[in-house]
Structure 1
Amino acid sequence: MSGTGAAGSGPKRQALHTQLRALRERAEWDRKTPSASVAQNSLQRAVRGTGVQGAEQFAEHWVSGWAPPLGEAEKFVVPNEDEVMLAVVAVWSHWAGECALTAEGTLDPRWRRMNEAFWIAKLADAREELDDDGARLPGHEGSLDTGPIETPWSGSSGVRNEIRGGNFYGSVFMGRDVGIAPNAAFVHGGGGRGDRFPPPPRAPKLPEWVVDREQVDEVVHLLCPRGPWWRGRRHRPVRGSTVGLTTAVHGAGGFGKTTLADLVRTDPRVRSAFGGRVYAVTVGRDVRSREAVAGAAHRAALLFDRAAPAEADPVRAGEVLAEVLERAGPVLLVIDDVWEAEQLAPFLVGAPECLRMVTTRRPSALPAGHRPVLVDRMTEGQARAVLTHGGLVLPASEVDRLVVATGRWALLLRLANRNLARQAATGADVGAAARRLLQRLEAQGPADLDRGGDRSASVRASIEASTALLPPGGPRRFLELGVFAEDELVPVPVAAALWRATAGLAEDQARELCAAMADLSLLSLDPAVPGGALSLHDVVRDHLRATARDDLPALNANLLDALATDLPKAPTATGAGLQVPAWWQTSHGYLLDHLVGHLLDASRAEAAEALAGDLRWVRTRLH
C-alpha cells in the first residue's frame, strides 16, 4: 500500500483521515446517479487521466487505506505520493460539484492554486507526527481516538462536539481542528432521513472570468480564525458573529459582492472548516412586507429542514430558523443582497454556532459589532484581467482608457469584455471596436465612483453598446425582461411567453435570443434548471425598469395574458358563473411566488385579491 504508516492516535493523522473520508463520502454521495459510477475503477481511471506525476501507478486499493470508513479507521495510512493524493482529492472535489478538473480531465490550474498548499501542508503535518511517534509500519498497533474533539467553534465557551462512532459529517481545518455536525440527520445516508434533511449544497460554480480578490483572504481570516495564517491578527470573531460584505460607495451595485461571497463559499479553507456545510439565501430589495421577510427566513430554514413550518410573522419565522440552525450545529449561512435591517433581523436570532456572512450595499443594515469588509472597485491588474479575459488582445492605449472609462467596476468590465469578444468573433478589428465602445462610454463621462460620477449613465452606455449587437428587435426584447421579479431565476418558457405576446417569437427563437444575450453577459442562463432559467443582475434590472417605467403595466398584462392561454379555464371561487385561468395548475414555481405581484403591477388588483383568497391557489402554494 502506498503509505507510511497507520494513523495511530495522533491528532494530525486523525484530522487528515477525517478530512479525506468526509470528502470521499460527499463525493460518492453526489456522484450516485444512474449515469455515474463511484466504483474504485472509475476513480482509478479519473486519477490516471489527470496526468500528474505517479498517476499511472495509482492503484485502486490505495484509497481504501487513505480514506477507510470510520469503522475501519485503524487501517488508515498516510499517503506517500503528494501529487497522486492531490489528484484523488481533485477528482472527489469535482464529483462533489467543484470545478477541480478541466474538460480534458487534468487538474484545473485555479483549483490547484487554491488547494495545493493546503493539502500538502496537512500531509507534512501527518508525516511529521509519524516521525515523532515512530509509527512507520502499516501494521502499527493503534486506532483513531474517537473521543471528544475540539471544534474550530469551541472558542471561549468550551463547547465540544464528539465523535462517538456511527455516521457523522466532519471536517479538518488545516490538519489541526475537526468540526463535526452533531445532528446525524444531516449526514449523507443518515438513517434514511435524507428526504426531510437535505445534504449540504454543492459549492457554486464560478464563471471562468472571475478573478481572485484580495478581500477573500480577509473574509476567510474572519470566518476561520484557527488557521495558521491567522498568527499576528488582532480580531477573532466569537461563535455566532456576523461578517458584513459591503461597498465603499453608498448605493453602488455591481462591484462584485455576490461574486466575492461565491469565492468565499468555494474557498477550500472555508469548505474544510465547515465540512462543506455552507449555505446561501438571497433576500433582495423587493422583499419589503412582513410576510415577504418571513418568507425569506423560511426559505433559509428549508435548506436545512424541508419540514420547517412557514410563518407569516418575521419574528416567529426567525425563531423557527433559529431552531433549525441550533440543530444544524456549526454552519456558515450567507445572506445575500440585504437592504434593510428589518430584512436581516430574522436571520440573526439564536444559533450561536452559526456564522453569518451578509452582503449589502447599506452598512446601516448590518448589526452592531459586525466585522465589515469593504468590496471596492477592482485594482488595475484585476480590471485588465477581466477586460482581456478569453485571450482578447487589445492595444495597450485602449485597455488603459477602458479601465478608466469603466471605473474599474466589475459589471461594466465584464460587459465590455463580452462586447468586444463578440465583435472579435466576427472578424472585426478589435482596436476599432474598442474605440467605438470608448466613444459611447466617454460620452457619458467616466464612471468616476469616488467623485460621485453618474453610475446610471455608465450602465446605460455599457448596456446600449451591448444590445446594439443583438439581432433586430433584440434591444426591445431585453428591455422587456425588466418586468420580472428581482433576484429570481425566471423560467425561459415564461420569458418566451412574454416575447410571444410582444413580438410573436416562437420558443426556439426566444431561446436563441436568450443565448445571444447571455453571450454578451446581459443576463445569466442556468441550463441545470429543467427547461432553463435566466437571471438579471440587479443593477441591470434597475436600468431596464427605469427605462421601461411607463410600459411596465402593459408588459405585465401581456405576460399574464400569454401565460393564461396555456392554462385551462375554471369557475371563480365565488361560483358566479365567471371563468378565470386555473393559475393553480401552473408548473412554474416562479409564478407560484410572483403571480400576485404581476397581477398588481398590471393594475389588476381585484384579480390579485381574488386569487390570493382562492383556496385552490392557497392549497397549491402550501404544497
Structure 2
Amino acid sequence: MDPLDRKLRRQRGYRRQVLPGPPPLPEWLDLSAPDAVHEAVRLLRSRPTRHKTRGVALVPDGPAEVAGYGLSVLARLVCADRRIRRRFAGRTWWLAAGPGARDKPGTAVRRHRRNVGLAGAPVPYTDGEWSSTEDRILDMYRRLLVVVDGVPAGADNVSRLLVGRRAQSTLVTMPDRSTLSGWVRVVPADAAAVERSVRASLRTRTDLLPTGGAERLAELGIFAEAAEIPLPLVETVWRATAGMSPAETAALCRRLAELSLIRPTPDRVAPPAWPPDVGYGFGWLTVDPVVRAIGRLDLGEQRLAEANAGLVTALAGRLPRAEALAGGAPDRAWWRLDGTEEYLWRHLVGHLLDAGTLTEAGLLAGDLRWVGERLLREGPVGPIADLTEVAQRTARRPVPVEARTGDTAPGVGSLRHGLTKIAPLLDPTDPPEAVRDVLLYHLQHHPGWGDQAEAVQAGLGRPVLVKRSAGDALVGALAGSSGAWDVDLSADGGLLAVAGGQAVAYWLHLADLRWRSSHFGRQEVARRVRLSPDGSWLAVWTSDGLVSAGPEDPPSATYVHVVDTATGEPRFRLSGRYRHQILSLAVGADSTWLFTSAEDGDRAWDAATGRLLPTLPASGTRPPPDRTRTTSPDGRWRATVHDNELRLHDLVQDRPGPMLRLAPDRYGRLSGTVWLPDSGLLAYGPPGVFLCEIRC
C-alpha cells in the first residue's frame, strides 16, 4: 500500500493532524482588529454558495503604496480570531508566497512544498500541474485553512495555490486584485494605517536596545522568512558589518529575545562542528516576518547587498576553490558545506543573489555537483527552486554581456526545463545516493547538462550505468521505438526482435543493423515475440486492441503471426476466438515447429507451412527466458527489473551495483532486460526501449 494511503487511513476523522499555523503575533504589537478582519472572518465562516470552497483576498483599499507587511499582519489577526481557531481546530497552513510566486515555475515550487507539508511525506514533483496525489492529500483534511501571504502584483498563477474542497478555505494577501478568480471575495483594508501602527509599536522596543542594536536587528532581515537561523551565521554577519565579538553577539541576542524581537529555539542541539557556546542560551533563532520586512526596508538595497556580501565572503573563506567542470564553475566549492548546515543548503543561492553576485549564483545553481547534493536533501524541488530564483532575478535585472564569464545565469531557464522534465524520476531511492545516478543518466544527452553529466560520471570512481552515445549505430536503429511489450534475442545473439505494443513487430540484424518490420491488423496489439533458435523466423502473439487483455476482461480475439526474418513475408497466421483463445506460445528447439497453448487444448504446428502436427515433436521447445532477472555474458552482473527500476548486482564481489529509474510509475513499468553481445544492456517495457552500458 502507498505510504500516503496508509497515512490517510490512520487519520480517519482527521482530528489528530495538527499543522504549523501562522507565525504568532509578537507581544509588543499593540493593534486592535479593524473592520476588515471581522469581515474576512465572517466570509471564511459563511456557507459557500455557487462554489464548493471559500476564498477571501485582503487587498489595499486605495492606490497608496504599501510595503506589504500590513496585509500580512491583518491575515495573522484573522487566524488568531477565536472563531477561526474554533472552526478550523488548528488546521491552518501558512504559505509565504513572496516575489518568487510571480510566474508558473515559482508557483509550482511553492505548491509542491505546500503538498509535502500537508502530506507529512515526500510526494512526486509535478511542475504545478494537477495530480491525483494532490487530491488525496487534500482529502486528508475535512477542514483546512490555507493562507497564501504576499502574492506579488501581476502574478498570473494565484489559482494554483488555492484549495478546492467544500470545507476548505483560502485566505490571500496581495496588492493587486486584477488576477484573482471570480469566486474569491475581496476585502479592502487600510494596510497603510496598519503599517504605521506596527512601526510605532516596534519603535517602543527598539528604543530599549543598546547603541547600534536597531541597526543589527535590521540586518537580520537578510535571512530567509520564517527560517530557523543558526547563531554562528548571525555572528558572522555582525562581525562583518560591525566588528562584534562572540560575547557582544551573545549579549545582544539575549536582549533581543527578552524584548520578544526574535524567537529563540532552545530545544535544538548544536552540531559538534559549531564553536563552543559563549552564553547564548539557545542555538537557533527566528525573526518575525514583520521585523524582517521592516528591517529590509530600513536597510535599503545597498546596505542589504553589503550585509549579504559580508556573509558570503566569510563563508567562502572556509571552502576551497571549485575545479572547473565542463566549462564554467562557481568560484568556491559550495557543495562541500557541512552536512549539518541546513539553512545554507536551502538558502545559499538567495544570499548570493542578494549580495549582487548573479553570475556566481547562476553558476552554482547550474552545477551538477551542487544539484546532486540539493537533490539528496530536499528532492528535485530544491535544485529547481534554486534555478527558478536565479532565472527570476535574471529576468528582472539582466547582466551586461561584457560582465558574464563562462556559463552564466541567463542559461538557467533551459537548465531548469531539463531538470523539471525528469523530476518525476527523482523521488527518493534505496540507497539514497542512487538518485545521483538517475539524475546523471537522464541528463547525459541534454544540451545544457550533458557535458557536466559526463564529467561527473567519469569522476565517480565506481561502476555506473550510462547511456549509449547518440552517435551509436544501434541507438540510431532503436530511436524510432516508442515502447516494447516483449523482446527476444536469437540463440547466436545476431538477431533482436521487438513486439512494439502496437500493430507492428520489428527485428534487427545486430551485425549490420539491417532493420525489418511486419505490420498486422489495425486493431491488433503485438504483446509477445519469440525467435526461432536459428533466427530464420519469428512468432508474434497479438490480441484485439479494442479491449484490454486481462483475466477479468479477456480480448475478443488472439492471433499468432509467423514471419520469415529474411524476407519479412508472413508465413501463416493462427487465430483464436471466444472459447478458443490462444494463451501462450513457444518455438521448437530445432526451429521446425511452433507450440501453442489454447483454452481448448495444446497444439503443435509446422513452422514452414502452418500445418497442424498430429503429435508433439520429441525435440521439445526452447525454454522461455526470464527477462526480469538476467546475467551478463561474462557472468559478473545480474540485472533485475521491478516496477520502473533497473538494478545491477555485482556477482563477483557479491554487493549491490548501479541502479536506475527509467520511467515514472504513472507511465508504465519495465518488462525485462536483454544483454547484447557487445556487453550492452537493453531494458524495455511499455514506456520505451533504453540502451545503456556499464562504465567501470
Output the TM-score relative to the length of structure 2: 0.43
Structure with more helix by fraction: 1
Larger Rg: 2
Q: RCO (CA 8 Å, sep 6+): is it higher in 1 or 2?
A: 1
Output the TM-score relative to the length of structure 1: 0.48
